[in-house]
Structure 1
């Protein structure tokens, strides 16, 4: 079969041999503590980048770039990549890897040595999040970044498949819970596919899922995000109980919980798993209004 002209060939990406060579040079082994599972398959990287639907002027935030597998693919598709890496050894090596594999794009990379759960400032405002997230912190990382960086308008994250199901679950489904509701405060989320185990080193024990999201405005409410999230946490802390019982501690008494629920137009005998984010916002608002009236009286 005739090889295509060089200009038409896809840019090279890191393969299994490249990843292992880089790791050996740095004397590192992927750690469970940091949730490190490096992608070793170029076709998977191209699939992720394609599914992210990036515009050419996008500034992409990548969390946990590791040895740079996904970073190279993102630099091929976006205007700029801001990579947040918690491991100082990996963070220090990433610019050299990009300079070797994408010398013409080296200036388009910014590396930030920071924990994604604590990062508050970035050198450029990101418009999209694309990342292979550590399984153990995936949900708080996504929620933290959506809260701290309102410039993020869209994204695609690869997480443990079970976590992907939870993030994308609609009300009433078996996997619907706290991650589903809180994510819905910021964005619409949907599952965009699965990724097998054999494209990682080391191979995880469970498949990964891709979740695509698009930012939207939160529900219109006088309640704060913190107040709404407090209702969500209380409702799912005892998800087998009715909302009247589950929210008793949050409201002060079962009677006050029922009053807030009825004022919000929610059946007190319902359970949290059937409510969407707007219903939780109405409950928080109703309780706040009742508290304000009580304070005046």
Structure 2
């Protein structure tokens, strides 16, 4: 029997007991909502389709609900926790509830937005996390850039954010997060999570987002692609000829660059795929 099938996972009573012991009250400032439903963490771990040799980076492990579901599935879990009380307790929680796997856990007391490769002992191959809602997209993009070894992402975010991340070109909610996430690979929705699996229960539903990273992407283009994306969506109602003038110096120069990349200057940013932005960057994009 594996851990994720056993009684070692945290339920509502265990979550509240640990929080009481640490005198921890979930805060909106840190985007904390602790998962207390074992079925949900099993579902997340399964949706990630992890291999035994994977090295997983988890953001905001909190009291360890998802961590306990990960340590028996992979070779190593790097848990990034900004709260020193939670970071200090996590290893002991795993030792108490799953001692056979405690050597697989590495706890890093750090801000996920500022963590670097030098902060971890092993480069992760997967990102699996219940991301802090207030910084979910910046954290996701930072970790994908900082750890190019990541091949699979499975994260839980606000449902609205999940919808935006996985949106297709042309839709009303397609925007900066959609393009920047898809720069790294194929982004898909992986399910909806209800409010009642959390403590405290948030006011909104959550969504699972999966990213299958594309190894063929030239990561060096990020510094050229992302400014183009930001500019293109800064004023959604305006055409690319107008919005990209800030990047190229004038509307005429923007039009010239767009035509050189085979893109109609009269289009709006929401019509462009990530491939279009990459092509524009390759043709001298943000020079």
Q: Same fold (TM over 0.5)?
A: yes
1:10 maps to which residue?
6
Which one has a bigger Cα radius of gyration?
Answer: 1
Match of 2:235 in 1: 238
Determine the structure 2 residue equivalent to 1:273. Answer: 270
> What's the secondary structure of 1:131's corresponding residue?
strand
CA contact (8 A) 1:263 1:286 kept: yes
* 4+ long deviations beyond 6 Å: 5-8
CA gap 1:266/1:8 in 2 versus in 1, 3 angstroms:
closer
| 1:101 and 2:94 correspond | no
Equivalent residue, structure 2, for 1:186: 184
Corresponding residue pairs, total: 285
Task: Please give the per-residue CA displacement for 1:72-92, whole angstroms capped at 9, x wherever unaligned.
Answer: 001121121110100101000
**Structure 1 residues 274-283 or 69-78, which shifts more?**
274-283
CA shift in 2, pair 1:58/1:6, >3 Å = closer
Change (3 A) 1:131 1:285: same
- Asked if the contact 2:184–2:217 (Cα under 8 Å) also holds between the matched residues in 1, the reply is no
Query: Is the CA contact 1:126–1:151 (under 8 Å) kept in the aligned structure 2?
Result: yes
Structure 1: gaps spanning 5 or more residues: 292-297
Q: For 1:65, which of 46, 61, 74 is the aligned residue?
A: 61
1:12: Cα distance to partner? 2.3
Residue in 2 that maps onto 1:23: 19
TM-score scaled by structure 2?
0.95
| Counterpart residue number, 1:197 | 195
The offset of 1:11, in angstroms, is 4.2
Does residue 157 (structure 1) correspond to residue 155 (structure 2)? The answer is yes
Q: Which residue of 2 aligns with 1:118?
A: 114
TM-score, structure 1 as length reference: 0.91
Give the aligned partner of residue 252 of structure 1: 249
Q: Structure 1 residues 233, 108: CA separation in 2 closer, same or farther (over 3 Å shift)?
A: same
SS in 2 for 1:261: helix
Q: Which residue of 1 aligns with 2:81?
A: 85
Change (3 A) 1:41 1:286: same
* Shift in alpha-carbon separation, 1:7–1:90, aligned structure 2, 3 A: closer
Question: Distance in 2 between the 1:147 and 1:51 partners?
Answer: 23
Taking the aligned partners of 1:281 and 1:6, their CA distance within structure 2 comes to 43
User: Which residue is equivalent to 2:260?
Assistant: 263
Aligned residues: CA RMSD: 2.0
Q: Is the 8 A contact 2:50 2:73 kept in 1?
A: yes
